[in-house]
Amino acid sequence: MELCSVQTTVYRIVKTDVKDINPTRRAIIVEISEEEVATLENKLIQDFQRQAKVPGFRPGKAPENMIRTRYAKDIANELKSRVVSAAHQDGVLKSEVSIYGIVELDEGIITGGKAAKLTFTVDMLPDFELPNYEGLKVESEPTDAEDGEIEKMLTQILSQRAEFKVAEKAAEKGDYVRCSYEGKIDDQSIAEIVPDAPIYGKQSKTWEEAGSEDSPGVRAVVDGLLGMSAGDEKEVEMAFPADFEMPALAGKSAMYSLEVEEVREKILPDMDEAFFKSLQVKDEAELRSQIADTISRQKVQKNFQAERQQITDQLLAAVDFPLPESGIKSETEAILRDFMERNMERGATQEDFEKQKEQLHEGASDAAANRLKSRLILSRIAAKEKIQVGNEDFSRVIMNEAMQTKQKPDQLVKELKKDQGRIDRMRMEILIGKTMDLLIEKASRETEAATA
């Protein structure tokens, strides 16, 4: 693409041209005069003379020509570094260009006694008008625990301590059943269609909770187990929804052959003194009270996340502007890296990601664009509102991270001091968080009515 100049600036030692590449990218061409390169080189030689230890000469007394010969490679490398630094300080940073980040640097030819011409390719911070961010509407749910929710969690606690005894009876809801099943679509085995998802294809001697609404397995199989006894066989039909997570199965109908080998009845524990003691509560009333508190805290946290997402969605919809390409790339890589780390902890392999590479990258790119856009908007709001990140903010975040990672705070601080990039990312996260807190404080809040 042909570059077209938009700005030329001349300083004492530097000439700077700024040229468009695309709406979010610029080329900053910095020219450093022959005289200034010579000045930088002479200063460099003097530094080497002072520090060099040359046999037969006192420190700082070795001849210049000897220093140039003996340290030619080191001098050349250091001269490049100093010229690049001068170009950045006196050219790029004084170019009056709002820079998001440097994408590429073409140093050209840098050598002593000759003018240097360097090209910095940079992505721009987008220029946009801030939308109205005061009084944004957010809806939250009631945080009181309902009786049905308390009862459900109490049942879950009892189920976690239940015994499962072999039973010569038909399976009822909540019983565990050892079974085998195989699914087919027409005459083709689902195990062949989705070989990486055996839970939907073929399973032998697996355990399923009959009728469980929370089972990750095949819905038709889980429900089909109800009423079956050891030795029973039957076929069940599964209609996969159009938006099913496995595209190869979405919208299709499958038949599953199902065989039961054993039924185990769930025996819930008695809520007696020993049971309450194991949970460190006095009685059922105290247990239910603790459950209600837990549910309430969960709802508060859910509202916390939901309100922030509502604010983000409104900001994203209120303004549009081109995003820096390098920002989208780095955000995409961060999202993919986080996704892979979390799923590898659950047993996923590199091969699993390779098979879905294009699909994963497309989804991550969309998420990255929204995340970058929201961060840029919130950063501008933070600047307008003069929101600062102080030492107390860092201390709080460091303490929280130390607790999560089970590190001593002092050790974490030592690690941070060695990684400026990590400190910068932490500062940005704190700034974004404080800005979002301000928007929530200024928001117009409505609480949805509790469901009957």
Q: 234: Cβ–Cβ under 8 A, 6 or more apart, which residues?
A: 224, 228, 257, 258
In angstroms, rounded to a whole number, what is the distance separating the alpha carbons of residues 106 and 6? Answer: 20
Beta partners for residue 7, in sequence order:
18
Look at the block and give the residue holding tokens 């009959």.
Answer: 210
Give the fold, CATH level 3, of 4-124. Alpha-Beta Plaits (3.30.70)
Q: 172: Cβ–Cβ under 8 A, 6 or more apart, which residues?
A: 210, 211, 226, 265
Q: 416: Cβ–Cβ under 8 A, 6 or more apart, which residues?
A: 398, 422, 423, 426
| Tens digit of each residue's pLDDT (9 = 90 or more) over 401-428 | 888 888 888 888 888 888 888 888 899 9
Which parts of the chain have pLDDT scores under 50?
1-12, 452
Residue 452 confidence (pLDDT): 45
| Tens digit of each residue's pLDDT (9 = 90 or more) over 218-274 | 999 999 999 999 999 999 999 999 988 888 899 999 999 999 999 999 899 999 999
Residue 94 confidence (pLDDT): 84
In angstroms, rounded to a whole number, what is the distance separating the alpha carbons of residues 63 and 265? Answer: 94
Residues of the chain with CATH 1.10.3120.10: 299-447
The closest alpha carbon to 87, from 46, 115, 124, belongs to 115
Residues of the chain with CATH 3.30.70.1050: 4-124
Residue 6 confidence (pLDDT): 43
Residue 29 confidence (pLDDT): 94
* CATH code matching the domain that covers 163-267, chosen among 3.40.50.720, 3.40.1190.20, 3.10.50.40, 3.90.1150.10: 3.10.50.40
Residue 145 confidence (pLDDT): 95
Q: Phi and psi dihedrals of 349, rounded to 5? A: -115, 165
Q: Region of 108 please: left (phi>0), alpha (psi -120 to 50) or beta.
A: left
Contact, 287 vs 281, CB < 8 A? yes
Q: 43: Cβ–Cβ under 8 A, 6 or more apart, which residues?
A: none
Tokens of 365: 């790119």
Residue 272 confidence (pLDDT): 94
Residues of the chain with CATH 3.10.50.40: 163-267
CATH for 299-447 is: 1.10.3120.10
DSSP strand pairing (444-447 vs 137-140): parallel
In angstroms, rounded to a whole number, what is the distance separating the alpha carbons of residues 166 and 93? Answer: 76
Q: Which residue type, as a one-letter code, is found at position 450? A: A
What do you get for the CA distance between the two ends of the chain, in Å? 63
Residue 451 confidence (pLDDT): 55
445 to 138, 215, 303: CA distances (angstroms): 5, 36, 11
